[in-house]
Structure 1
Amino acid sequence: MNYSLLIAIFAIYFIMVILIGYLAYKRTNSSEDFLIAGRDTNSYIMALSYGATFISTAAIVGFGGIAGKYGMGILWLAWLNVIVGIFIAFAFLGKRTRRIGHNLGSVTFPEFLGRRFNSRFIQVASGLIIFCGMPLYAAVVLIGAARFMETSLALNFSLSLLILSLIIAVYVFYGGIKGVMYTDALQGTIMFVSMAILLVFVYAKLGGVSHANMALSNMVHLYPAAAAADGGTGWTSFPTLSSPYWWNLVTTTILGVGIGALAQPSLAVRFMTVKSDKELNRSILIGGVFIALIPTTAYIVGSLSNVFFFDNFGKIAVNMVAGNIDKIIPTFISMAMPEWFVYLFLLTLIAASMSTLSGQYHTQGTALGHDIIETLHKRKLSDNLSTTFSKIGILVAIVLSLIIGLSLPGSIVALGTSLFFGVCAASFLPAYLAACYWKRATREGAIASILAGVFSSLFWLIFVFGKTATSLGICKFLTGYPMLISTMPWPYVDTMIIALPISIIFLVVVSLLTKPLDEKYLTNSFRGFNKKKVKEES
């Protein structure tokens, strides 16, 4: 191991992070700066911050590992991320979120929903959902980077988790959302360059695009028996329709993450940090290219690692890592790539985890400090006190994610990510869409939708969804059965497929049965939406 090179690379990186974090700290002069970056972020920083927060080690390590075991069918997720997570999110939700948020003075996602529906309960409840649910996602992101540190640097896994947590804590704690977004832009640039190099290197090493893909197709007879039993048909083909893996891939991975991205609080709040619709328009291309390249590269490399491992060691990827698919990408990089790139890729994964985690910790901290404590206080707190409560929330969130990360089993990164995205979609997406587009939606309808989404998601995860129901053991303890429904396909159907329609139904039915919001209040919320004025302001 070349310690001099490793130290030099990371010294330069951390010096840059510290300098950027210090710059953000000096420019954070109010609670609005800490919470929403003063609403003057430019398009490049916003796009890369959004993309780097969206694409974490879960996408690179977790879903790359899924591709290593099951194949390239997961590439559909990359395209859905571009279409839904970037184009639809920015063009159809971003502009309205920015404008309505500005009209109502919202600085967090729960506050956006709460003020749009004139409900303190919605703000507090949304804050609680975020603060209680997001540590699972943060934990699996931590695990993704820590696994690579464990594999490439021979560091203890628990020590790796602790180091990452401490580094991220410093600049999120002091720099707020400005520190998060400024460092995200740096980390996003590192991620983009590194993944572009990786894609070129892998295909060059395996004899070119056609040769590498053909070699993988010809290895179908080596396809893992466990993957085939789940319905997989090969690394370059889609799984059998309605098989267990088909249901997991389509409902949990592709739809759960692809659609769930629209309702991610740490992503939605970034729309409120820009100063105009022009900045959002400019961000679409930057964010689209970023999102297209990074997960696509991870999924291709994960699948093609089977060719490299078999040619050099006579084993396929899943056998090289003793079944822990979270180690496929780290092991491949460590064995197949030049030493300097191993260090660069380690930096990439740390950047990916830090960018996502910083956004998550900031979102959790503001959920506790601003959306729960300050809202329950019923009086606006001073900037210093509001920021202090948010910082306390950040520290609590970091400790929680560290504890969860130490207790989770292997091969959990992709599943944990998918489940959190799905629960967010069921809980927030109907109310969020209604807040932006449906004036007839009522306070009671939004509350019913959020609660229905949360409780139906929890019910499905505890009593029906196979992987979580059997792991938690609550259903077994209460009923004597590992899950309430064991017949196909229900144990493999993601919670979002069930809970999201329920949440939508509650929103529509309850809204139509209850009194609409005051017209003057709605007029203020949608102020500036006539076409002429929007064009002038843009």
Structure 2
Amino acid sequence: MNIIVLGVVILVYFIMVGYAGYVAWRRTSTSEDYMVAGRKTHPYIMAMSYGATFISTAAIIGFGGMAGVYGMGILWLVFLNILVGIFIAFIFYGKRTRRMGENLSAFTFPEFLARRFKSKFIQYFGGAVIFLGMPLYASVVLIGAARFLESSLKLNFNIALIIMALIVAVYVVMGGIKGVMYTDALQGTIMFLGMIFLVVSVYYMLGGVTSAHETLTSMGHLIPASAKSVGATGWTSMPIPGSPYWWTLFSTIILGVGIGVLAQPQLAVRFMTVESNRELNRGVLIGALFIFVMTWGAYIVGALSNVYFFQEKGLLAIQASGGNADKIIPVFISSAMPEWFTYLFMLTLLSAAMSTLSAQFHVQGTAIGRDVYETLKRGGRSVLITRIGIIIAVILAVILAYILPGSIIAQGTALFFGLCAATFLSVYTCALFWKGITRAGAIAGMVSGATISILWLLLVYKKTATALGLAKLLFGGLLIKTMPWPFVDPILVAVPASMIITILVSLLTEKPDEDHLRECFKGIGGV
């Protein structure tokens, strides 16, 4: 390890990030600046911030590692990321969110829903779900960055966690969402260039695109017997339909994130930071290209790492990483790539982690400051409480990162995305597209979605229910043991149930005020 080169690379990077954060701090003077960037963000900054927030070390390290285990079937997630996470999100959800958020003077996602339905309960309930649930997501992003620093730079895992958390906390506390978005744009650009170089290098190392993929296909017989017994067939083919392996890949890894992205508070608030729909239209191409390169690149590299490890060490990727999928990408980079590239790719991983963590910490802070504290107190020093909330969020994320088990990054990400989808997606969708939804329907949908999702995780979904032990304590085992339910992700149960309950309660309760609806939908057609 060349300490001088490493030191220079890190110093230059943090000078750039620090300058972006400083500029944001100088341009932040009001609550509107701190919460929604004054609603005048440039489309490039908005799109790159959205993409960099969406694609974190969870995508590169966690889901890249899952590709090393499950193979290229995970590429269906790339399709959903672009179709749902960019096109549908920007064109259909984003434009209405931007306009309605401006009509209602909403600064946060829970506040947006609360003002749409004139319900304080929705605001502090939504804020509480975000503040209490997001530390899981933030912690796995921290773990992803720390694992790379541990594997590539031989830095102590615990020290790496603390360093990452402190750096992000400083510029988020000081600069608000402008600090987050300005640094996101810089970090997203670095991520994009780093991933392109990595994919090209991997294909070159393995003899080209055709040779690499043919070799991976020919290794299908090496799939471990334990994986074959639950439905695995190879790294370039889908698992047996209906098998436990297929359900985990399809419902948790692909749908959990591919659909859950629509209800992510830290992403939805980005739509409220631009001045007009024109900025959102311009952001579609930028965002789609960024998401494609980052997700496709990470999954391809993760799957093909099996070829490299088998040719060089006679091991599969999961074996070379000590059985921890979260280490597959870090171990591959440090083993296969030259030292100078390890330093540069470290910036890609740092950027991925810091961009997402900054958004997570900011939205957690606003959840506790704006959505819970200010709502309950009916006014007050929400920016100060937001900053305190950010510090608390950082501490919670670090604590969880210490205690969570291995191979948790992709699973933790999917679980949080699923919880947000269960809580918010049906209500958010109806809020934008259906004037008939009522306050009672919205509350019922949010509470039922969150409750069903949590109960399913605790009592039915095998991976979490077994680990937590509550189902065994209460029922002697899983509440539902019949296939495929123990392997069906909560999102497939909680989201449809939440939507049905939202609609039924809305149809049975008092209709919303027409004057308020006109205010909400002013300038929005087609509803």
TM-score after normalising by structure 2: 0.99
Residue 494 of structure 1 corresponds to 489
Q: 2:414 matched to 1:442?
A: no
Looking at structure 2, the residues matched to 135 and 465 of structure 1 have their Cα atoms a distance apart, in angstroms, of: 21
| 1:226 Cα deviation after fit | 2.5
Task: For residue 391 of structure 1, report the CA deviation from its aligned partner.
Answer: 0.2
CA offset at residue 124 of structure 1?
0.7
For 1:104-183, list aligned pairs within 5 A: 104-183=104-183
Please, which of 493, 506, 526 is the counterpart of residue 501 of structure 2? 506
2:516 to 508, 516, 521: 521
Map 1:358-373 onto structure 2 (within 5 A): 358-373=358-373
The count of corresponding residues between Structure 1 and Structure 2 is 526
Rounded to whole Å, the distance in 2 between the matches of 1:459 and 1:314 is: 43
Cα distance in 2 for residues equivalent to 1:225 and 1:144? 28
Q: C-alpha distance in 1, partners of 2:224/2:307?
A: 14
Return the alpha-carbon distance in structure 2 between the equivalents of residues 294 and 225 of structure 1. Answer: 31
Counterpart of 1:110, as a letter, is P
Q: How is 1:372-451 mapped onto 2 (pairs within 5 angstroms)? A: 372-378=372-378, 380-381=379-380, 385-451=381-447
Partner amino acid for 2:128? Answer: L
Q: Deviations over 1:302-331 (max 9, x none)?
A: 111111111111111111112101000000
Any idea what the Cα deviations from partners look like across 1:356-376, whole Å, max 9, x if unmatched?
A: 010000000000000000011
CA distance in 2, matches of 1:426, 1:12: 42
Instruction: Supply the distance in 1 between the matched residues of 2:265 and 2:226 (Cα, whole angstroms).
Output: 36
Once residues 70 and 326 of structure 2 are traced to their aligned partners in structure 1, the CA distance between those partners, rounded to angstroms, is 13
State the one-letter code of the partner of 2:402: L
Conserved 8 A contact 1:444-1:511:
yes
Quick check: 1:70–1:227 contact (8 Å CA) kept in 2?
A: no
1:257 aligns with 2:257: yes
- Residue correspondence of structure 1 range 27-66 to structure 2 within 5 A: 27-66=27-66
Q: Is 2:286 aligned against 1:290?
A: no
Q: What is the distance in 1 between the residues matched to 2:241 and 2:62?
A: 23
Aligned to 2:198: 198
Q: 1:430-488: CA deviations, max 9, x gaps?
A: 1001111100000000000000001000110000000000100111122222x111221
1:371 and 1:496 map into 2 onto residues whose CA distance is 25
Name the SS for the 2:259 alignment partner.
Answer: helix
Instruction: Give me the whole-angstrom Cα distance separating, in 1, the residues matched to 2:221 and 2:525.
Output: 61
Instruction: Give me the whole-angstrom Cα distance separating, in 2, the residues matched to 1:51 and 1:204.
Output: 27
* Structure-2 separation of matches of 1:529 and 1:67: 41
Q: Which residue of 1 aligns with 2:472?
A: 476
Cα distance in structure 1, aligned partners of 2:389 and 2:345: 31
Q: Is the 8 A contact 1:69 1:224 kept in 2?
A: no
In structure 2, what is the equivalent of residue 333 of structure 1? 333
CA positional deviation for 1:340 = 1.1
C-alpha displacement at 1:143, in angstroms? 0.5
* CA distance in structure 2 between the aligned counterparts of 1:473 and 1:219, rounded to whole angstroms: 37
Give 5+ residue unaligned stretches, structure 2.
Answer: none
Partner Cα distance (2:220, 2:125) in 1: 49
Distance 1:337 1:373 in 2: 49
Q: Retained in 2: the 8 A contact 1:41–1:273?
A: yes
C-alpha displacement of 1:17: 0.8
Amino acid in structure 1 at the alignment position of 2:396: L
2: CA distance, partners of 1:189 / 1:529: 33
Kept in 2, the 8 Å contact 1:50–1:270? The answer is: yes
In 2, the alpha carbon distance for the partners of 1:69 and 1:386 equals 45
Give, in angstroms, the shift of residue 530 of structure 1: 4.3
Cross-structure match for 1:351: 351
Aligned letter for 1:498? V
Residue 227 (structure 1) shift:
2.1
Structure 1 unpaired stretches of 5+: 532-538
Point out the more displaced range, 310-319 or 172-181: 310-319
Amino acid at match of 1:389: I
- The separation in 2 between residues aligned to 1:316 and 1:530, in whole angstroms, is 54
For residues 480 and 89 of structure 1, the distance between their equivalents in structure 2, rounded to whole angstroms, comes to: 42
1:19 aligns with 2:19: yes
Measure the CA separation in 1 of the matches of 2:523 and 2:242: 47
- Mapped to 1, the partners of 2:504 and 2:321 lie a distance apart of 50
The structural deviation recorded for 1:230 is 2.3
SS in 2 for 1:527: coil
- Structure 2 Cα separation of the partners of residues 86 and 228 of structure 1: 35
- Contact between 1:142 and 1:405, CA under 8 Å: does it hold in 2? yes
- Tell me, in whole angstroms, the C-alpha distance in 2 between the residues paired with 1:344 and 1:288: 24
CA distance in 2 between partners of 1:306 and 1:226 (Å): 17
How far has the Cα of 1:92 moved from its partner?
A: 0.2
Whether the 8 Å contact between 1:426 and 1:500 is mirrored in structure 2 is yes
Query: Within 2, Cα distance between the matches of 1:341 and 1:204?
Result: 15
Q: Distance in 1 between matches of 2:321 and 2:522?
A: 56
Letter in 2 for 1:449: G
Question: In the alignment, residue 95 of structure 1 is paired with which amino acid?
Answer: K
Q: CA deviation at 1:241?
A: 0.4
Measured against aligned partners, the alpha-carbon deviations of 1:470-509 in whole angstroms (never above 9, x if no partner) come to 100111122222x111221111000011111110011000
Q: Return the alpha-carbon distance in structure 1 between the equivalents of residues 336 and 195 of structure 2.
A: 15
Report if the CA contact (8 A) 2:70-2:249 is conserved.
no
1:442 is matched by which residue type in structure 2? T
Listed as ranges, the matches of 1:242-321 within 5 Å are: 242-321=242-321
| Percent of residue pairs bearing the same amino acid type | 60
For 1:323 and 1:225, locate their aligned partners in 2 and report how far apart those are by CA, in whole Å.
15
338 and 529 in structure 1: CA distance in 2 versus 1, 3 angstrom threshold? same
Give me the TM-score of the superposition, normalised by structure 1.
0.97
In the alignment, the residues of structure 2 paired with residue 75 and residue 230 of structure 1 have an alpha-carbon distance, to the nearest angstrom, of 20
Take 1:462 and 1:191, find their aligned partners in 2: how far apart are those partners?
A: 36
Deviations along 1:85-114, whole A, 9 cap, x unmatched? 000000000000000000000000000000
